[in-house]
Amino acid sequence: MIEFSHKPVMLEECMEGLRLKDGGVYFDGTIGGGGHSYEILKRTAPGGRLIATDLDDCAIEAAGKRLHEFEGRYRIYKSNYKDFERVLQEDGTDKLDGVLLDFGVSSFQLDEASRGFSYMQDAPLDMRMDTEAVLTAEDVVNGYAQERLAKILFEYGEERFAKNIAENIVRERAKARIERTGQLRKIVEESIPAKFRHNGPCERKTFQAIRIEVNDELGGLEEAVRGLTLRLKKGGRICILTFHSLEDRIVKNVFRDLATDCICDKSLPVCVCGRKKEIEIITRKPTTATEREQKENSRCKCAKLRIAERI
């Protein structure tokens, strides 16, 4: 197995956004290789504490090694960040000084062929973040009805040729089961007109959509963002890195809702709706990576950072 590596996206922007302090308690919902977590612990020494989650065993092992020097100041749970209520209860923590969520797929997951995330290498169709999970990309490609496949490709991948691709997947799987990323890549390429293949790798959207479906990446996202934001102490910050327009839209809408005060008709003498503004949005427009970072790490080009503060 290759070494787990993940270059943390917009590291300084995230650290500044969290407004770190000694003695604070922070939650990293997607620890990955531990890049962001390392800096959180380093910059909150000697009393800062970290609670982290991840579903990937390789990520957890790598992060544990990377954070070893901060032994006693952090705990990593094999869990989906969406189960934060259970994790925080188990940890004995109620309120947080900061939350970081990075929804990006790590370089390790993309580069490790056996995981099946990448269209660049021929490998088994897997794509599971949690290798103990039941559903795989192979199950989706071979088991979903044509209409359902087309819907997933269109909604999660924003793929304009979703119907063509789904139709061809169903036709090819009737001949033989589709088990490899190379097989799927070939089907996608042949489903997209040649004149549209020059706008970046034409397989990217399909692979992204299937990965999102396999890992249920959007399910419960709104509730998790809302719940974690409301777990912040007054003055606490939440920083969220998204890499897909659907994720970003969900985060934006949750922040906007939590930043909305009374919605009563202005003609009423008193408020009857009971709404109270919960946060201040720090980033009216999402922050993006600098040109320099984008050149050094092409995978951060579509990243967007949104920050909010509990009031």
Model confidence band, residue 2 (pLDDT cutoffs 50, 70, 90): very low
pLDDT of 108 over the 80 cut: no
Three-state secondary structure string covering the chain: CCCCCCCCCCHHHHHHHHCCCCCCEEEECCCCCCHHHHHHHHHCCCCCEEEEEECCHHHHHHHHHHCHHHCCCEEEEECCHHHHHHHHHHHCCCCEEEEEEECCCCHHHHHCHHHCCCCCCCCECCCCCCCCCCCCHHHHHHHCCHHHHHHHHHHHHCCCCHHHHHHHHHHHHHHCCCCEHHHHHHHHHHHCCHHHCCCCCCCHHHHHHHHHHHCCCCCCHHHHHHHHHHCEEEEEEEEEEECCHHHHHHHHHHHHHHCCCCCCCCCCCCCCCCCCCCEEECCCCCECCCHHHHHHCHHHCCCEEEEEEEC
pLDDT of 233 over the 70 cut: yes
What's the whole-number average pLDDT of the chain? Answer: 92
pLDDT tens profile 238-270: 999 999 999 999 999 999 999 998 888 888 888
Sequence spans of domains, the chain: 11-103+218-310, 113-214
Point out which residues pair with 148 in neighbouring strands.
none
Angle at 32 between CA 45 and CA 259, to 5 degrees: 75
In angstroms, the CA 164 to CA 66 distance is 45
Q: Which two tokens stand for residue 106?
A: 């790590």
Q: Which two tokens stand for residue 42?
A: 């380093």
pLDDT of 18 over the 90 cut: yes
CATH superfamily of 113-214: Putative methyltransferase TM0872, insert domain (1.10.150.170)
| pLDDT at position 111 | 65
- In this structure, what are the phi and psi dihedrals at residue 65, rounded to the nearest 5 degrees? -70, -40
pLDDT of 5 over the 60 cut: no
Q: Which CATH class is domain 11-103+218-310?
A: alpha beta
pLDDT of 1 over the 60 cut: no
pLDDT tens profile 168-215: 999 999 999 999 999 999 999 999 998 887 665 679 899 999 999 999
pTM score of the predicted model: 0.90
> Which residue matches tokens 């579509």?
302
State mean pLDDT over 286-301: 92
pLDDT of 82 over the 90 cut: yes
